Structure 1
Amino acid sequence: MSFKVEAVQSPKTIISTRCHWDEQMQSVFYNDVEGVILRYDFKENKVYSATVDGESAIAFVIPIANPKKPGPTDEFAVGFGRRVAVVQWDGRSSKATIKSIVFEVESEKKDNLFNAVKADPTGRFIGGTMRSIEVEDIFIPNKLVPDGALYKYVKGEGVYELAKNVYISNGLAWNEKEKKFFYIDSGKFDVKEYDWDPATGDISNERVVIDFSINGKNPGFLPDGLTIDTDGNLYVTAFMGSKVFKVDPKAGKVLFEIPIPAQKVTAVAFGGPNLDILYVTTGGKDDTNENAGCLFKVTGLGAKGFKGVRIHI
């Protein structure tokens, strides 16, 4: 196989993450954790970015579903600390505005914050928390405290806990056909599979798909972001590992590795008009690689993914 890794024309970020391909806008949405939301426009080959007044940290950005208004949207679910907000942004301006706060979790845990969030195949909010890097050194996983949780939010009902004792809630992916959910808690160095109920969003029957640890210890990187292709294979980013693993979840083995010229490889999503481009976000902080912190694209993989699902919130 001959694949190609290229840096997309992009501003370098401190740590960009949460990669979402929106088919209707032909754009990749992602964010810099230090307070910036970004949109890569495929047709223009250009990145637009915005900040939100009063907010210095952003966990995720996902377009909001509106059945009455298909097509381009200017409303997004954005994570600020433990809060989830509706943010209005035209996708081009340098400023975005908070319209409302939808909900908050873990109000008693002042050091916690949302990390990875996605919409499941039905559009349901699924996402989890971790302790803030201001109080927790994520580069020393063996000293982490499992103080986070994984949640689902159901519009009109509220927030429900799906899993507890989470270190660093990260990668999320679904095999809708087989009704499976895949999840990464980075502090456990593995990828887990669950049975997934599309009617409720609930998960059960935990199984370790692949364990990256070395005798139960830090392998030198954290499994982080996650996506799935139409053949059911997983793509797992290696934070501090400069690569993306392609994993066969049934066999529990790495099929091959995709080297990325950045240490902090964070999130992945298939996109492009044919859903055959793998987009990869990275962090530039304390990295001497020339394009670290840029958005990358991987072509020639011979695989396709699924379009990003807009979130109901």
Structure 2
Amino acid sequence: MAIYNVEQLPSPLNVLGEGPHWCVERQSLYYIDIYGGTIHRYDYKENKTYTATIDDYPVISFIIPVKNSTTKFIIGTGREVTMIEWDGVSSTAKYVKTVGQVELELPDNRFNDAKVDSSGRFYGGTMRLEEKGDIFESRLGTFYRYDAQRKQFVVLKKNIGVSNGLCWNETKNLFYYIDSCDLDVKEYSVDANGNLFNERVVIEFRENGSRPSFVPDGMTIDMNGFLYVATFGGSTVYKINPFDSKIVMEIKIPAEQVTSVAFGGPNLDILYVTTSAKEFKSPQPAPAGALFKVTGLGARGTIMHSVDLN
């Protein structure tokens, strides 16, 4: 069993830190504070975090670099995917254009987690706003793939509670997905167009049919196909073998609300972990909301991809 080390990085204490994306070209981790309305870039070489806001966008749900650009990104803004321009240093970023919008009839929904596959295709899902009630009360979210050639969102799954997770085993052509309200991790096969089939539950987190003390949140994968699942309310990242459905390691984080994970660093062997400082019941004490790194895991992650909008 690997002996790991957890270290808090110089970073703001986020209201709801989320969406870590490691950019190999910039050797930086991009992530967001959903309800702080900020985007961040943690520079590995400088060991420093830069933060920016975007006018008129108080809620930002993800950030992903745009292919063949050093300054353009897409972010989630409500039910829209928005392109922005940011140099990674300045305290403000600029709106460029709206890429697309979904669910015009559901003003209480917003995009949540989103990622990109090895072909540059965007995948992302929606959820009902947390302020509108218990997330388990309704399933108004939808999971989408964006068809850049047709400029259309393709529906992959309906009746989603909270769309989360998202990672690919590119070697085996498998996709892993979390709807936090299902309290499990699901696996899918992927066809040539990026559509999903052969659904299989990898692991179930319910305990004797009852809800656990956490919900599964963000997720990433290593080169050997092991999954790493953040637990909101569980102070833990679970390392899971999806082929035998076993938890092989519990990585303890000094914050209760662990939101997401991504491998990064020059060798892709550092696990970056985002956390939240504010639950909707009560604020959490520091270092809740900080960015952490986990080293010594003896694992390497896979490359995260930029979005291809062409």
Q: Where on the TM-score scale, by shorter chain, does this alignment land: which range?
A: over 0.9
CA shift, 1:288, in A, is 4.2
Cα pair 1:20 1:29 within 8 Å, conserved: yes
Which residues in structure 2 correspond to 1:1-313 (within 5 Å)?
A: 1-34=2-35, 35-66=37-68, 73-138=70-135, 141=136, 144-157=137-150, 158-197=152-191, 199-285=192-278, 286-313=282-309
CA shift, 1:17, in A, is 0.2
Distance 2:220 2:261 in 1: 6
CA shift, 1:136, in A, is 2.6
CA shift, 1:217, in A, is 2.7
Q: Which has the larger displacement, 157-166 or 285-294?
A: 285-294
CA shift, 1:221, in A, is 0.4
Distance 2:51 2:219 in 1: 23
CA shift, 1:13, in A, is 0.6
The residue type equivalent to 1:36 in the other structure is: T
The residue type equivalent to 2:93 in the other structure is: A
CA shift, 1:123, in A, is 1.1
Cα pair 1:242 1:259 within 8 Å, conserved: yes
Distance 1:208 1:215 in 2: 16
Distance 1:129 1:287 in 2: 25
The residue type equivalent to 1:22 in the other structure is: C
Distance 2:55 2:177 in 1: 32
The residue type equivalent to 2:131 in the other structure is: E
- SS for the counterpart of 1:134 is helix
The residue type equivalent to 1:214 in the other structure is: E
Deviations 1:168-195 (A, max 9, x none): 0000010011010000000000000000
- Percent sequence identity is 50
Cα pair 1:263 1:287 within 8 Å, conserved: no
Distance 1:29 1:214 in 2: 35
Distance 2:297 2:66 in 1: 30
Cα pair 2:121 2:146 within 8 Å, conserved: yes
The residue type equivalent to 2:157 in the other structure is: A
CA shift, 1:137, in A, is 2.7
The residue type equivalent to 2:221 in the other structure is: I
The residue type equivalent to 2:107 in the other structure is: K
- SS for the counterpart of 1:122 is coil
Distance 2:194 2:255 in 1: 35
Cα pair 1:16 1:283 within 8 Å, conserved: yes
Cα pair 1:262 1:287 within 8 Å, conserved: no
- Per the normalisation by structure 2, the TM-score is 0.96
- SS for the counterpart of 2:95 is strand
Distance 1:153 1:188 in 2: 24
Cα pair 2:13 2:286 within 8 Å, conserved: no
CA shift, 1:4, in A, is 0.1
- SS for the counterpart of 2:51 is strand
- SS for the counterpart of 2:181 is helix
CA shift, 1:106, in A, is 0.7
CA shift, 1:291, in A, is 1.3
Distance 1:105 1:239 in 2: 27
- Per the normalisation by structure 1, the TM-score is 0.95
Distance 1:105 1:301 in 2: 39
